[in-house]
Structure 1
Amino acid sequence: MTKSKMELGYWGIRGLASPLRLALEYAGVDYTDRRFASAAEWHAHRDGELAAAGVVAFPSLPYLVVDDTTAVSQSRVILRFIADRHGFGGDGEAERTAAAMVQEEAADLNAAYLKVALAADTESARKEQVAGSITTHLGRLEAFLGDKEWIAGGAAPTYADILLFDVLEWMWHLDAELEAAYPKLRALRKRVGELPAIAAYVKRTDGDNPYLSRPFTPFKVG
Structure 2
Amino acid sequence: MAEGKPKYVLSYFNVKALAEPIRLLLSYGNIDFEDRRISKEDWPKFKASMPNGQMPVLQIGNKTTFQHLAICRYLGKQFGLAGSNDWEAFEIDMAVDTITDLRTKAVVVFYEPNESIKETKYVQLLSETIPNILKKLEEMAAVNKGHMALGKLTWADFLLAGLIDYMNLICRQDLTANCPNLKAAINSVTSLPASKAWNAKAPKTDM
- TM normalised by structure 1 equals 0.76
Is contact 1:96–1:152 with CA below 8 Å preserved after alignment? no
**What does residue 197 of structure 1 align with?**
194
In 2, the alpha carbon distance for the partners of 1:180 and 1:59 equals 36
Give deviations 1:6-58, integer Å, cap 9, x for gaps: 111122222321211111112110111122222233147x2xxx8xxxxxx76
**What does residue 182 of structure 2 align with?**
185
Is contact 1:201–1:211 with CA below 8 Å preserved after alignment? no
| 1:1-222 to 2 correspondences below 5 Å | 3-37=5-39, 38-43=42-47, 46=49, 60-68=54-62, 70-119=63-112, 121=116, 125-149=121-145, 150-155=147-152, 157-172=153-168, 174-176=172-174, 178-204=175-201, 210-215=202-207
- Across the aligned residues of Structure 1 and Structure 2, the Cα RMSD in angstroms comes to 2.6
State the structure with bigger RCO (CA 8 A, min sep 6), 1 or 2.
2
Is contact 1:116–1:130 with CA below 8 Å preserved after alignment? no
In 1, the alpha carbon distance for the partners of 2:109 and 2:184 equals 24
Is contact 1:4–1:29 with CA below 8 Å preserved after alignment? no
Instruction: Tell me the secondary structure at the aligned position of residue 64 of structure 1.
Output: strand
Task: Give how far 1:116 is off.
Answer: 4.5
Task: Give how far 1:3 is off.
Answer: 4.8
Residue identity over aligned pairs, in percent, reads 26
Is contact 2:25–2:72 with CA below 8 Å preserved after alignment? yes
Task: Give how far 1:211 is off.
Answer: 4.0
CA spacing shift, 1:136–1:20, aligned 2, 3 Å: same
Task: Give how far 1:162 is off.
Answer: 0.6
> Can you give the 5+ residue segments of structure 2 that lack an aligned partner in the other structure?
none
In 2, the alpha carbon distance for the partners of 1:3 and 1:97 equals 31
- TM normalised by structure 2 equals 0.81
Aligned pair count reads: 196
Task: Give how far 1:194 is off.
Answer: 0.7
Is contact 2:143–2:151 with CA below 8 Å preserved after alignment? no
In 1, the alpha carbon distance for the partners of 2:151 and 2:86 equals 11
Deviating beyond 6 angstroms after TM superposition, the runs of 4 or more aligned structure 1 residues are: none
